[in-house]
Amino acid sequence: MARIVINKVRKDFGDFTAVQESTFTIEDGEFFMLLGPSGCGKTTTLRMIAGLELPTSGEILLDGEEISQKPASQRDIAFVFQMFALYPHMNVRKNISYPLVSQGMRRHDVRAKVLEVAEILGIVDLLDRPVGGLSGGDRQRVALGRAIVRNPKAFMMDEPLGALDAEFRERMAEELRSLHDRMGATTVYVTHDQLEAMQMGDKIVVMNNAVVEQFGTPQEVYDKPASLFVADFIGSPSMNFLRFNGAVEKGATTVSLEGQVIDVPQQLAGASGDLIFGVRPEKIILNDSSGYRGEVLAAEYLGTTQIVTIKTANGVVKARINADQVVTTGELVGLSFVPESITLFDEPSGKANLSVLNQDVLNNGRS
């Protein structure tokens, strides 16, 4: 079992705060993603879990045991680095077996364990080859093998696919997820790539400027972003934002944009002030009967779909529509929105209207 609890963990480097009181829980067997832009604190959080950095304050629990001040050697956690960190003077077999040899395991048992791991990773034919002549993908498999061979309680992975080209990266992402599903081990994975996080993760923590912005499943983070940052960072294209000043009356199910009535979910009733109306591109429908209109600026063909850029009175939006729907640059089109997909944000704070979000997907994901 490897349930990891992060409770109000903070990390300061002098006057600089790298992580600010993060709180979330990684359940046993989860593939857990730490997602955010460079410098947001995700790698520092990973290193604190692994014991490579000690937190300034807060608790880290592994299977109920408080480990925040224990060194890495006492945590039974394996770390996979972005740049592989292999021993160049050793061949593949010796790289994988090194942790077991260091622990004093018998030679026969080491050979059997290395062979077992190599079969899982499909690198049996590479065992006697020097690591220097391997491709990036094979080196990453060797690095994974060295971590797996120990049977640790949890795996920490710091952008392990970052050094691979796009095609190899996609293939290795599938292999990593498949490997995780077969082994069932708790995995914490750092990435700045939101597509990678959505593709691989069971849960996602989105970080920005040392703060946990949101914690939840990929669908929760995509459908119900807790802040403007999350809504903008997740999705390609990202969520559209239409600014307006007004209110959603209690009990009402509509708002007025430029005099046109737009349906919204009833749970958004009561929001007021400087509001931002958020909607995903695939939830915008080009509808001639709608009174809310905009001018088509461009259309980007993507095979089965196209992305249409439209200028409205409240801002520019992107709509994802079928490729066979005909639109022309300069054309005025009507826009309607799927009501249940709408999120309202408070512009000054950047936070979503709290009534539309479940408590377990709000800031910090406290459990």
pTM of the model: 0.84
Residue with tokens 């593939």: 31
> To which residue do tokens 């995700």 refer?
42
The backbone torsions φ and ψ at residue 103, rounded to the nearest 5 degrees and listed phi first, read -85, -5
- Residues 301-329 have a mean pLDDT of 94
The residues facing 273 across adjacent strands are 246
**Residue (of 335, 197, 218) closest to 277 by Cα position:** 335
User: Distance (Å, rounded) from C-alpha 87 to C-alpha 84?
Assistant: 9
Q: Which residue in 89, 100, 99, 146 sits closest to 120, CA to CA?
A: 146
Place of tokens 């770390």: 79
- Report which of residues 127 and 166 the model is more confident about: 127
Q: Does the pLDDT of residue 86 top 70, yes or no?
A: yes
Mean pLDDT of the chain, nearest integer: 86
Per-residue confidence band for 355, with pLDDT thresholds at 50, 70 and 90: very low
Per-residue pLDDT, averaged over 279-289, amounts to 92
Q: What pLDDT, on the 0 to 100 scale, is given for residue 253?
A: 63
- Residue 218 is given by DSSP the state H
> Is the model's pLDDT at 260 over the cut of 80?
no
Please, which residues bridge with residue 295 across strands? Answer: 311, 332
Residue 277 vs residue 279, higher pLDDT: 279
Tell me the average pLDDT across 281-300: 92
Separation between Cα atoms, residue 151 and residue 78, nearest integer Å: 9
Composition of the chain by helix, strand, coil, percent to 5: 30, 35, 35
- Identify the pLDDT of residue 276: 85
Which tokens go with 84? 């592989």
DSSP secondary structure, 12-74, as one string = EETTEEEEEEEEEEE-TT-EEEEE-STTSSHHHHHHHHHTSS--SEEEEEETTEE-TTS-GGG
CA distance 187 to 156: 6
CA 243/CA 234 separation, integer angstroms: 19
Q: Measure the CA–CA gap between 48 and 325, rounded to whole angstroms.
A: 51
Residue-wise pLDDT for 27-38, tens only, equals: 999 999 999 999
The pLDDT assigned to 247 comes to 60
- List the strands of the sheet with 31-35, edge to edge: 77-80, 154-158, 186-191, 31-35, 203-208, 211-216
Q: In percent, how much of the chain has pLDDT > 90?
A: 55
Which of 86, 98, 199, 174 has the alpha carbon at shortest distance from 136? 86
Chain position carrying tokens 């260091």:
102
Report the SS3 class of residue 149. Answer: coil
3-state DSSP assignment of residue 88:
coil
Count of H-run helices and E-run strands, the chain: 8, 20
What's the CA gap between 23 and 59, in Å, rounded?
9
pLDDT tens-digit series, residues 218-235: 999 999 999 999 999 999
Handedness of CA 158, 162, 163, 164 (dihedral sign): positive
- The pLDDT of residue 71: 92
158 in Cβ contact with 46 (< 8 Å): yes
The per-residue pLDDT for 160 is: 81
pLDDT of residue 363: 44
**Hey, what's the torsion of the CAs at 56, 57, 61, 62, to 10 degrees?**
0
From the list 96, 182, 30, 27, the residue with the least C-alpha distance to 174 is 182
Q: HSE of 251 in the Cβ direction (CA atoms, 13 Å)?
A: 0
Banded pLDDT at 367 (limits 50, 70, 90): very low
Position 207 scores a pLDDT of 97
Q: What is the rounded (10 degree) CA torsion for 204, 207, 212, 218?
A: -20
What is the mean predicted confidence (pLDDT) over 112-120? 89
Residue 65 scores a pLDDT above 50: yes
